[in-house]
Chains A and B, each alone.
Chain A
Amino acid sequence: MGRFIGVRLLHALVILALVTVLVFIIAQLMPGDGVLAAMAGSIDMSDASAVERVRKQYGLDQPILVQFGDWLARFVTGDWGTSIGGGEKVYDMFMRRLSPTLELFLGATIWSIGIGIPAGIIGALKRNSAVDVALTTGTMIGVSIPAFWEAIMLIYLLAVIFPILPPSGYVPFFEDPWLNIKSMLLPTFVLGTHSAGLLARYVRSSLLEVLGQDYIRTARAKGFSERAVIVLHALKPAMIPVVTVIGLAWAHMLGGAFFVEVIFAIPGLGRMSVDAIFQKDFPVMQATLIAVTLNVLLVNLLVDILYGYLDPRIRVRR
């Protein structure tokens, strides 16, 4: 296992290096100029030289390779440059925005698992009953409802009409735990319901498949109650494919996190990265894409480890 993780980490490093170069190339291929774009909307209209000055300030007047070399040399020493769109140090920006996003992801995953897995199990157990149909419809809605619409509806319902939750905003947990939880309830729910719907469907079909297996009949023949059969015998094997879905959902959450963070005014990485792409804010783009890659790689690794835990056949093979 240890060797396996080591090899995977090595892979991750290589992929990271490739992504870094790729991001750089893509950023260069993207049409438009970040500084000009950002400044065109600012109040200085007569003075074209202002754009040049800012470009110089960010080193964008240098040849591409020099820019890349500079960036890389500074990046490895922890200096990730300065955001073109926001003027903040990218490293600080990144670190500050990491925890809201992590909290969002975590909360969303809790919702997703908390809703998706029970819904999937109930759906599988009460297969084709009214409950199952209701759940299937619910998960379909969960998957297909536009996040934006869902968010606005929930905000109006729970913050304006029945004002129990704040409409938006983020308060760090350590500043005000209760307000933090209250303000994260809706965003995590909105982000979580999407993967919850997906998860429920996977859990349902995976569990149905497992419940048809011979070893479940064996467990029943031992005298276990239906619940014990599911908990002790069916759930673990049924979770094997589901873990992949959870991992995928987590890896894909950054996309969803953008909307959710924008809508709920959460100062997180999702909002930061997409802003960066629109603004062609190269230093921020680099940092976030590396983070995205790292996230995906780490999640894959975690999924693999979990796989090993859940499925002894895989554990030995590696």
Chain B
Amino acid sequence: MNDAPELLSVRNLTVDFATAEGLITAVDNVSFDLREGEILALVGESGCGKSATALALLRLIANPPGRIASGSVAFRGQDLLRASEDEIRDIRGNRIAMIFQEPMTSLNPVLTVGRQIGEPLMLHEGLREEALLEKCVKLLESVSIPEPRRRMGGYPHQFSGGMRQRVMIAMGMGCAPDIIIADEPTTALDVTIQAQLLELLRQQVETHRTALMLITHNLGIVARYADRVNVMYAGRIVESAGADDLYERPRHPYTIGLLRSVPRLDQPTAAKLVPIPGQPPDALRMPQGCAFHPRCPFAVARCRAEAPALREVGAGHAIACWVDVDG
């Protein structure tokens, strides 16, 4: 995989939110790459900045209150953060598609589903009328919506949560994008549909050499689908590794804790589940040093004073930790 051409190169991305209480750094100096045909998972606890990272890539952070404070996002060599409005609009929905986390609210309630699916195609591919209709029907079929032709005239509220999420996915895949960013695409769904949809996404990746950035906190999904995994904690990437590598040898104490806290299919169910003690830090009162140190069983003095940068600890494996624990 590593030799595939690089599509997206994110460097030192930092996103702030100005809240009434103070400035929150939701994404802190994040760097990663995405290659053609790669499935990259972004995992971490709720609020660690996964969605913010994803939105920042396409400059969709609501401003105010949000702001991309620094960094660069190179897509095929073009810096999206410095691109003109026209240029970035040409990429959104076309070269890079997003599938949002909240299927219940991410579809416009007053527009027909058909129209919403068709919009990117109209906008970017200039499809009209019959051609557009056919394409939309195909898309809906591909996400297993029954009676797609009839359903196109329906409104989101007439769809179940799972169907809406499938509509979202169909919408994202319409223009055969280079990159799909799927923000917890399956959270609302039951397990069979979950698998079905992820399979669908994987197919897309395989047939079109699309890159998929899969945001989730479901480590099971990560294990099954992802090529690489970035683990985020409090706005930072704390560990980045190939999926197999990570599962076999997590090196960051947070990752280790995370893996212990969820059931694993490859382990006997009897194995003990150990939740990570403590709470994620308050974004307004980030601890000095490593943000994880208050919860870290391996913390040393340096952890409290100085935040560790990401460092290579193996081939394609990096962690942000002063201590190198071999899980």
Contact = CB atoms under 8 A, between A and B. Distances in A.
Interface in B144-158: 155, 157-158
B110 A217 contact: no
Nearest to B172: A221
Contacts of A3: none
A225 B60 contact: no
Nearest to B54: A221
Given A312-B109, A313-B155, A221 B60 contact: yes
Contacts of B100: 214, 217-218, 221
Contacts, number: 77
A212 B64 CA distance: 11
B230 interface: no
Contacts of B116: 218
Contacts of B89: 223-225
B105 interface: yes
B62 A214 contact: no
Interface residues on A, range: 20 to 34
B126 to A, nearest CB: 13
Interface residues of B, number: 32
Contact of B123 (A213, A224, A233, A310): A224
A222 B123 contact: yes
Interface string A246-273: 0000000000000000000000000000
B98 interface: yes
Contacts of B105: 213-215
Contacts of A217: 55, 60, 62, 100, 106
A224 B108 CA distance: 14
Contacts of B134: none
A63 to B, nearest CB: 57
B97 interface: yes
Contacts of A224: 89, 119, 123
Contact of A223 (B92, B102, B107, B157): B92
A311 B108 contact: no
B135 to A, nearest CB: 15
A236 interface: yes
Contacts of A316: 155, 157-158
Nearest to B155: A312
7 shortest interchain CB distances as A-B pairs: A222-B93, A223-B92, A223-B93, A214-B105, A312-B155, A215-B108, A214-B106
Interface of A: 212-215, 217-225, 232-233, 236-237, 240, 310-313, 316
